[in-house]
Amino acid sequence: MGNSIGSGSSPMTSSAHPALINRFFSGSAWIEGAALNQLDEMSRLPGVLEIAAFPDLHPGKYGATGVALLSSRLHPLLIGNDIGCGMSLFGLDLPLRKLKIDRAAERLRRFETQAIGNAAELLTEAGLSTDLTPGALGTIGGGNHFCELQAVEELAEGGSADGLDDQGLYLLVHSGSRSLGATVFSEMAAAHSGLAAGLDPGSEAGAAWLMRHDQCVAWASLNRRLIAERAAAALHADLRLIADVPHNLVRPSDRGFVHYKGAAAVVSGELAPIAGSRASLSYVVRPSAGVARSLDGISHGAGRKYDRATMHGRVGRNRSEREQLLRNSWGGIAICDDRSLVVEEAASAYKDAGQVVTDLENESLVVKLASFRPLVTFKKAVDEAEVEQRRRKPEYRREGGRGHERY
C-alpha cells in the first residue's frame, strides 16, 4: 500500500549513513510496514539529520506521511504540491442549543457561493501578489480537505481557560494552497532533474523555492480564513480564530530546516487541532514543552489506515451504503456529491484519532483539552445550475443521466 519513496520518474537518492529516527508512537498504533520502510529510506536522504515519526504515520508518494524531518538541505519532494496545507479552528457566536443540523447543512451546501470581498485587496493585505490565483480563494479543494461544523463532546479540565465552551459551535477547516502549490511544485520539478537529491538552501534554486514556498504558506492560511468566513456568513454568524496550524511546509531552525510532511508545525503552549474523520471525534490539544524533542511537530490528524484504491470494494458498494456513509451516530451530515470521494473518505479509511492523541500524551508532547463531534462536514457539492444545464442536453437524456446520480 502506498508508493515507495523511490518510485516514479524521480527516485530519491540516499546516503549510506542513516539519520536518527525518533518514534513517538506505541505498539497500539496502526503502522504499516511500507511506512516504516519509507521512514528508513528518508533517514538516508542527503543532509537529513533527524526524523520524528508520529502515530498517524502512513505511506506517501515521496516518503512516509506523518513526520517532521530535520535536514541541512531542502527537500521539496517531501513537502509535495499542497504547500502550506493545514487546519484552522474557529469559534462561532452561535449557541449549540439553537442549532438545527438539517438547516445548517442546507445553508452550508452553498457556502462557497458567499462573497469574499475583493480578492486583489485580500491578497495585498496578506503581503501577496494580486496575481496569485485569486479565483481559487475561499475554496476547499478535493481529497481529504473539508470544512466541518463541530460541537464539544467532552471538555477536559483547563479547556475553558483556553476559551473553549461546551455550549458553543466551531468550524474546523482543512485546506491548502490549491492550484498555486501544485504549480510551484510542478515547475520546480520540471526545472531541476536532480530535485530528488534536494536543494542547497544557499543556491539560487533553493532561495527561489523557499520564496515561493512562503507565498504558498501565506496563501493557504488566507484561504482557510476565507473558507471559514464564507461558512460563517452562510450560517449568519461571526467567528474568531482559535488556531491556525500548517502541516505541509518547511521551517528554518538553528540546526537546519525542519520539513513537516503531514505533521502539524506547532508552538508550545498554543492550541492545535487533531482531526478525526467525518464520523469520529476530533481533538484540540495544547502542545507541551516536550515538543522540542519532536522537532516542534505533532500529528495533525488520525492518518489513513487504508489507501484510496483499497477503500473501493470495502464500503459503499451500493447507493444505500453510500447514503449511510453520509450520516454519523451524532446525527451529523456529510455533504459530498462525489461517489468516489464518499467511499475513499469513509471513517473506516482512517485510524483512531483518540489513540493518536493518547500516544502523543504518553510521550508528553501534548495535553488534551477537548474532543469535538462532527455535525456537518462539507467536502464537495454539485453545482445545481450546471446539473440542470446538463440534464437538458440530448446526450444526457439518451444516457438516462447515469453520470449525475445523486445520493
Helix, strand, coil share of the chain (percent; to 5): 35, 30, 35
Q: What residue type is 187 in one-letter code?
A: E
Q: Is 84 annotated as a binding residue?
A: no
Q: Phi and psi of 364, rounded to 5°?
A: 60, 35
Q: Is 147 annotated as a binding residue?
A: yes
Q: Is 118 annotated as a binding residue?
A: no
Q: Is 336 annotated as a binding residue?
A: no
Please give the Cα distance from 63 to 152 (Å, whole number): 35
75 is catalytic: no
Could you identify the residue written with the cell 504558498?
216
DSSP characters for 358-394?
HHHHHTTSEEEEEEEEEEEEEEE---HHHHHHHHTSH
Closest C-alpha to 260, from 29, 36, 104, 87: 87
Closest C-alpha to 257, from 218, 202, 299, 217: 202
Q: Is 146 annotated as a binding residue?
A: yes
Please give the Cα distance from 238 to 244 (Å, whole number): 17
Closest C-alpha to 62, from 84, 38, 83: 38
Q: Is 221 annotated as a binding residue?
A: no
Q: Is 145 annotated as a binding residue?
A: yes
Q: Is 363 annotated as a binding residue?
A: no
* Cα first-last separation, the chain: 29
Q: Is 303 annotated as a binding residue?
A: yes
Residue 238: partners with Cβ closer than 8 Å, 6 or more residues away: 92, 93, 232
Q: Is 248 annotated as a binding residue?
A: yes
| Active-site pick, 213, 300, 312, 404 | 300
Q: What residues form the annotated binding site?
A: 144-148, 174, 247-248, 282, 300-303, 379
Residues tagged in the binding site annotation for Mn(2+): 145, 174, 247
Residues belonging to the binding site for GMP are 144-148, 247-248, 282, 300-303, 379
Which residues form the catalytic set?
300
